[in-house]
């Protein structure tokens, strides 16, 4: 089935059915992506102001077989928002749909348009005395629709789940223009197939999310943060188990960090204050939020004392103020920027069964040693089994020296992850970057079902063609 | 597209490909259901011993267009497991697949066959020092496959979520016999469409779940239970909000109960000890589980004192022993049996936005008063917005006196639920009982997508025809 470009007659027909405000020039910012890997194309950028306008656009596109690429904040790391080939698409930006439609503090629910920026969701929840816990580095520009379409994760997944777990209902437009009014505020609803979770994580290939009903949480009464030095990743896992015994669901984040991250900070941002006098090989950042009646600092001290006795930690710092908490988090959040400045040869967003992580780290280093001499910065959301496994040149060399190694490294790391029961698309999704990986590592029955579902819901194949599944 | 009955030649062909042990006589127990509403039919009961045998059965059925009804513990309340009309189906029971395949305490993961009984899952988790929190009244006979196929809820959803939220991965057989090997132990995996959540809650209409990878939780260090008398449902909601401020995620269950339940207990089971000297109109059962460092009884006392001051409660009892906790729970768990003994005219498994519940209870009583003179027992999982709204004859009359009122009552209650943004299939699913309700109240785009997905994954229409969606 062939697609057609969004040519002038098509755009003229669209203009007849849409207000002028819905049309945007295809400025360069819409056609770039953070990794600089793709240059996108678009015949027009459409910024509809309502779900009805989204429906109008998709009806036209469906009838004319014109591709549509949904666009949120443009922060995706796998090229899901960029169409670089095929007939010129429409780019459909949700940027004008940015209302918080309603907040229901007594229900712990908030309903928001897909174009709302994540940090605005945080503020709206906070204004109602509640917490919207989804948090990622790009929170100042990522929009709700994209966060849901990619099932975003971030630092609080351990406690609150990913975007999927924070969504109660959706309003969305299906590829033929039908509007699904599914903005329910219900915690239990078994009336039919789970279309919500099918659209979440489908990266714009099955429809356009226009609004969502979101779960809010109580704000923890007290929060605390600690850095603890662990002898190795296996001890970090045991420390996580111990922390769970102590603190139950109170652990908001449990991040594993490696010496390489601190070295990269020292190398690229020497002005950043180092947390330790002597850089440890491995350490963890633990963030907790507790209900009334427990003091977070005391709870972390008790945990530390027991972990010290058990040989799981050798050193540690417990934040004594909000400023110190923020400083600990700055270390964690600055490492990705330090990575960028060093320039990775290859970076991997992978997840593994928790128990397999220590072995994976050992085997990964062995596999890479067989390819060449590299520095590895392996860090991430240990509590979720989600590692950012990034490979860098040794000091004095640059990524340009290793262009020929990239594919080999990627294949070796991904093969290892797959063998150990992991996922090579843990948190950032498939986009256009990992379509071949999905074909290689995906379960054949799962892929067959995905293709059948795609053909059933989007028979013309207009929605984000080439993302997730190979294009027509 | 017509289906064919499982006739003798078909069964002969199946016998050639399956071991004798896979064949069971269609005993009456397979053809009955708890409500006594349907009498089922089956040409044969097949009890495969492995996923490969399930695949063999579906391949045959797919090729011959023979209907297949998956069967778990037979405890479903909406007739999803009973085929009463159409060409005689195969009944596919998972009862022989009951292995706990592996337990990974350090990952909080357990992998189990679909035929494992819920209470056996509880025991396996406990033996590993962990908790599998899904719990429903039928835990002694309900099987994992059915719990997932219906996305079962129960009393701990508030804290731990429903069956969907406790599942990390599935092994399943698609309608054409393809095996999906999706038993991942990953907390983050964005590699492709969410087939897991599509199968969960699809009530056997899109395939057969044969095993699942399940989330375990830490066992709470201390548990506590209280009964608190509230002036009305609105106060119960405020008490829930206050409890969340105090206890965060520590609240495992928050059940609203009505005087009618106590009266029915007194009427039908006078030997049951009544919890209150004077029956209150409304009361709640609060169950909490806390991490180390907090005493549950003290936490409940603090909550009660503050709630008393705020006028949210007028009386209460906090369990001082495990025996007392069990006694409080017995009251809650015996009410459904008391309901059965009284004999409801109509019973409804509905959910509502939390904030709408007080109004719903008032309006529901008004609507019913317009139909006749009834007793209402409205109780359930307030924390989840899930009410069991059951309508009974007044004393001296019986359900047989109201047979003509049933449809009118059902329609009136369901219309009200729908108007108020609720679901008429909250916890028990659609099955065969609520197919028309789904058509009436379901969103048209959602239904269209469901039908497209069903046709795409099960083009022959063999999987549980007539459940969820109207049969071919």
Three-state SS letters, chain B:
CCCCCCCHHHHHHHHHHCCHHHEECCCHHHHCCCCCCCCCCCCEEECCCCHHHHHHHHHHHHHHCCCEEEECCCCCCCCCCCCCCCCCCEEEECCCCCCEEEEEHHHCEEEEECCCEHHHHHHHHHHCCEECCCECCCCCCCEHHHHHHCCCCECCHHHHCCHHHHEEEEEEECCCCCEEEECCCCCCCCCCCCHHHHHCCCCCCCCEEEEEEEECEECCCEEEEEEEEECCHHHHHHHHHHHHHHHHHHEEEEEEEEHHHHHHHHHHCCCCCCCCCCCCCEEEEEEEEECCCCCHHHHHHHHHHHHHHCCCCCEEEECCCHHHHHHHHHHHHHHHHHHHHHCCCEEEEEECCHHHHHHHHHHHHHHHHCCCCEEEEEEEEHHHCEEEEEEEECCCCCHHHHHHHHHHHHHHHHHHHHHCCCECCCCCCCCCCCHHHHHHHCCHHHHHHHHHHHHHHCCCCCECCCCCCCCC
* Beta-carbon separation of B248 and A249 below 8 A: yes
Residues of B in contact with A54 (CB under 8 A): none
Structure confidence by residue, pLDDT tens digits, B184-201: 999 999 999 999 999 999
- Closest-CA residue to B459 (of B114, B53, B174): B174
Q: Name B108's Cβ contacts closer than 8 Å, sequence gap at least 6.
A: A244, A354, B130, B215, B216, B217, B218
For the cut 90, the answer to whether the pLDDT of residue A416 exceeds it is: yes
Of A104, A241, A425, the CB nearest to B190: A425
pLDDT value at residue A181? 98
* Beta-carbon separation of A426 and B189 below 8 A: yes
Interface-testing mutation among A149, A176, A187, with chain B (most B C-beta atoms within 10 A): A187
Residues of A in contact with B290 (CB under 8 A): 248
* Beta-carbon separation of A174 and B455 below 8 A: no
* Beta-carbon separation of B191 and A449 below 8 A: no
For the cut 70, the answer to whether the pLDDT of residue A159 exceeds it is: yes
Q: Name A403's Cβ contacts closer than 8 Å, sequence gap at least 6.
A: none
For the cut 90, the answer to whether the pLDDT of residue A375 exceeds it is: yes
* Beta-carbon separation of A354 and B106 below 8 A: yes
* Beta-carbon separation of B247 and A294 below 8 A: no
Structure confidence by residue, pLDDT tens digits, A55-87: 999 999 999 999 999 999 999 999 999 998 999
CA distances from B375 to A351, B270, B284 (A): 54, 19, 20
Q: How does residue A35 score in pLDDT terms, banded at 50, 70 and 90?
A: confident
Interface-testing mutation among A169, A192, A219, A305, with chain B (most B C-beta atoms within 10 A): A192
pLDDT value at residue A293? 77
pLDDT value at residue A472? 62
How close A381 comes to chain B (CA, Å)? 10
pLDDT value at residue A1? 64
How close A192 comes to chain B (CA, Å)? 7
How close B277 comes to chain A (CA, Å)? 32
Cα dihedral value B338, B340, B343, B344, nearest 10: 100
Q: How far apart are CA A297 and CA A315, in angstroms?
A: 16
For the cut 90, the answer to whether the pLDDT of residue B294 exceeds it is: no
pLDDT value at residue B64? 98
Give the strand pairing for B68-71 and B90-93. parallel
Q: How far apart are CA A450 and CA A457, in angstroms?
A: 11
Residues of B in contact with A153 (CB under 8 A): 188, 190
Residues of A in contact with B210 (CB under 8 A): none
CA distances from A285 to A256, A273, A330, A381, B186 (A): 7, 16, 11, 10, 21
Residues of A in contact with B383 (CB under 8 A): 187
Mean pLDDT computed over A155-182: 96
Residues of A in contact with B386 (CB under 8 A): 187-188
Q: How far apart are CA B389 and CA B460, in angstroms?
A: 38
Q: How does residue A248 score in pLDDT terms, banded at 50, 70 and 90?
A: confident
Tokens of B321: 């022993």
Q: How far apart are CA B255 and CA B427, in angstroms?
A: 15
Q: What whole-number percentage of chain B has pLDDT above 70?
A: 100
Range in A19-28, A224-233, A240-249, B84-93 the model is least confident about: A240-249
- Closest-CA residue to B96 (of B206, B10, B31, B22): B22
Interface-testing mutation among B155, B168, B190, with chain A (most A C-beta atoms within 10 A): B190
pLDDT value at residue B154? 87
Q: How far apart are CA A180 and CA A71, in angstroms?
A: 19
For the cut 80, the answer to whether the pLDDT of residue A471 exceeds it is: no
* Beta-carbon separation of A353 and B104 below 8 A: yes
Residues of B in contact with A206 (CB under 8 A): 193
Phi and psi angles of residue A229, each rounded to the nearest 5 degrees, phi first:
-85, 125
Q: How far apart are CA A372 and CA A393, in angstroms?
A: 9
Mean pLDDT computed over B390-411: 94
CB A108 within 8 A of CB A127: no
Of A157, A158, A248, the CB nearest to B218: A248
Q: Name B202's Cβ contacts closer than 8 Å, sequence gap at least 6.
A: A193, A194, B149, B468
* Beta-carbon separation of A193 and B198 below 8 A: yes
Residue identified by tokens 């204004």 is: A127
Q: How far apart are CA B271 and CA B69, in angstroms?
A: 41
CB count within 10 Å of CB A372 equals 17
For the cut 80, the answer to whether the pLDDT of residue B293 exceeds it is: no
Q: How does residue B246 score in pLDDT terms, banded at 50, 70 and 90?
A: confident
Structure confidence by residue, pLDDT tens digits, A282-297: 999 999 998 877 889 9
Residue identified by tokens 């027509």 is: A472
- In chain A, count H helices and then E strands: 14, 18
Residues of A in contact with B192 (CB under 8 A): 425, 430, 438, 442, 446-447, 450, 468
CA distances from B132 to A242, A390, B102, B246 (A): 19, 35, 14, 25
Residues of B in contact with A180 (CB under 8 A): 443, 445-446, 449
* Beta-carbon separation of A351 and B428 below 8 A: no
Residue identified by tokens 């899109």 is: B206
Of A193, A200, A351, the CB nearest to B186: A351
Nearest CA in chain B to A193: B202
For the cut 80, the answer to whether the pLDDT of residue A43 exceeds it is: yes
Q: What is the DSSP letter of A354?
A: G
* SS3 readout for A120-178: HHHHHHHHCCEECCCECCCCCCCEHHHHHHCCCCECCHHHHCCHHHHEEEEEEECCCCC
Cβ-Cβ contacts under 8 Å between A and B: the total is: 303
To the nearest whole number, what is the mean pLDDT of chain A?
95
Tokens of A333: 């959040």
CB B304 within 8 A of CB B313: yes
Residues of A in contact with B428 (CB under 8 A): 190
CA distances from B104 to A31, A356, B7, B100, B190 (A): 45, 11, 44, 11, 22
How close B291 comes to chain A (CA, Å)? 5
Interface-testing mutation among A170, A188, A210, with chain B (most B C-beta atoms within 10 A): A188
For the cut 70, the answer to whether the pLDDT of residue B1 exceeds it is: no
Which domains are present in chain A? 100-218 (3.30.465.10), 222-419 (3.30.70.2190)
Angle (deg, nearest 10), helices B8-17 and B51-64? 150
pLDDT value at residue B269? 95
Could you list the beta-strand ranges (E) of A167-221: 167-173, 179-182, 208-215, 217-218
pLDDT value at residue A421? 97
Q: Name B322's Cβ contacts closer than 8 Å, sequence gap at least 6.
A: none
For the cut 90, the answer to whether the pLDDT of residue A225 exceeds it is: yes
Of B179, B385, B453, the CB nearest to A445: B179
Q: Name A12's Cβ contacts closer than 8 Å, sequence gap at least 6.
A: none
Q: With H, G, I as helix, E, B as strand and everything else as coil, classify residue A34.
A: coil
* Beta-carbon separation of B178 and A445 below 8 A: yes
Cα dihedral value B348, B354, B358, B363, nearest 10: -50
Q: How far apart are CA B249 and CA B255, in angstroms?
A: 16
Of A194, A241, A381, the CB nearest to B197: A194
CB count within 10 Å of CB A242 equals 16
CB B379 within 8 A of CB B257: yes
CB count within 10 Å of CB B316 equals 21
Mean pLDDT computed over A346-353: 96
Mean pLDDT computed over B441-451: 98
Q: With H, G, I as helix, E, B as strand and everything else as coil, classify residue A378.
A: strand
Q: How far apart are CA A446 and CA B192, in angstroms?
A: 8
Of A195, A221, A384, the CB nearest to B446: A195
* Beta-carbon separation of A430 and B220 below 8 A: no
CA distances from A318 to A226, A287, B134 (A): 4, 10, 36
For the cut 80, the answer to whether the pLDDT of residue B447 exceeds it is: yes
Instruction: Please provide the DSSP assignment of A259-297 as one string.
Output: HHHHHHHHHH-TTSPPS-SS--SEEEEEEEEE-TT--HH
Q: How does residue A245 score in pLDDT terms, banded at 50, 70 and 90?
A: confident
Nearest CA in chain A to B107: A354
For the cut 70, the answer to whether the pLDDT of residue B472 exceeds it is: no
Of A106, A186, A443, the CB nearest to B351: A186
To the nearest whole number, what is the mean pLDDT of chain B?
95
For the cut 70, the answer to whether the pLDDT of residue A371 exceeds it is: yes
Tokens of A370: 């067989």
Nearest CA in chain B to A189: B426
Tokens of B136: 């429903």
Q: What is the DSSP letter of A423?
A: B
With 0-12 / 13-18 / 19 or more C-beta atoms within 10 angstroms meaning exposed / middle / buried, residue A221 is middle
Mean pLDDT computed over A238-264: 93
Structure confidence by residue, pLDDT tens digits, B324-371: 999 999 999 899 999 999 999 999 999 999 999 999 999 999 999 999
Interface-testing mutation among B59, B184, B192, B427, with chain A (most A C-beta atoms within 10 A): B192
Nearest CA in chain A to B154: A188
CB A42 within 8 A of CB A87: no
Interface-testing mutation among B154, B157, B177, B187, with chain A (most A C-beta atoms within 10 A): B187
Nearest CA in chain A to B175: A449
């Amino acid at each position: 089935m062939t697609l057609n470009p969004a040519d002038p007659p098509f755009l003229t027909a669209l203009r007849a059915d849409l207000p002028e405000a819905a049309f945007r020039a295809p400025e360069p910012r819409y056609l770039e992506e953070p990794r600089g890997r793709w240059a996108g194309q678009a015949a027009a950028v459409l910024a509809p102001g309502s779900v009805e306008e989204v429906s109008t656009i998709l009806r036209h596109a469906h009838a004319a077989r014109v591709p549509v690429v949904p666009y949120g904040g443009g922060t995706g790391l796998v090229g899901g928002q960029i169409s670089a080939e095929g007939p010129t698409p429409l780019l459909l930006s949700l940027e004008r749909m940015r209302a918080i439609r309603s907040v229901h503090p007594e229900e712990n629910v908030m309903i928001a348009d897909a174009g709302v920026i994540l940090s605005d969701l945080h503020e709206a929840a906070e204004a109602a005395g509640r917490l919207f816990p989804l948090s990622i580095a790009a929170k100042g520009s990522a929009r709700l629709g994209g966060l849901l379409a990619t099932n975003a994760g971030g630092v609080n997944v351990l406690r609150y789940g990913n975007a999927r777990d924070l969504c109660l209902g959706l309003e969305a437009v299906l590829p033929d223009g039908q509007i699904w009014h599914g903005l329910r505020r219900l915690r239990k609803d078994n009336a039919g197939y789970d279309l919500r979770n099918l659209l979440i994580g489908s990266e714009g290939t099955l429809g356009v999310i226009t609004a969502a009903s979101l779960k809010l949480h109580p704000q923890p009464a007290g929060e605390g943060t600690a850095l603890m030095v662990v002898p190795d990743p296996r001890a970090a896992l045991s420390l996580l188990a111990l922390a769970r015994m102590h603190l139950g669901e109170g652990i908001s984040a449990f991040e594993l960090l490696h010496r390489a991250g601190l070295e990269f900070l020292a190398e690229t941002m020497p002005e950043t204050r180092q947390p330790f006098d002597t850089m440890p090989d491995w350490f963890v950042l633990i963030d907790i939020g507790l209900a009334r009646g427990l003091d977070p600092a005391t709870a972390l001290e008790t945990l530390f004392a027991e972990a010290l006795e058990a040989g799981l930690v050798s050193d540690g710092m417990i934040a004594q103020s909000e400023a110190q908490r923020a400083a600990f988090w700055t270390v964690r959040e600055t490492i990705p920027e330090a990575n960028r400045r060093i320039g990775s040869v290859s970076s991997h967003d992978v997840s593994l069964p928790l128990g397999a992580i220590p072995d994976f780290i050992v085997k990964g280093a062995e596999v890479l040693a067989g390819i060449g001499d590299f520095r590895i910065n392996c860090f991430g959301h240990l509590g979720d089994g989600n590692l950012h496994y990034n490979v860098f040149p040794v000091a004095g060399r640059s990524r340009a020296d290793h262009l020929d190694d990239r594919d080999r490294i990627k294949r070796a790391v991904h093969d290892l992850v797959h063998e150990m029961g992991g996922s090579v698309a843990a948190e950032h999704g498939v986009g256009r970057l990992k379509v071949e990986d999905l074909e290689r590592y995906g379960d054949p029955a799962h892929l067959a079902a995905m293709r059948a579902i795609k053909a059933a819901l989007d028979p013309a194949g207009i929605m984000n063609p080439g993302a997730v599944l190979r294009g027509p």
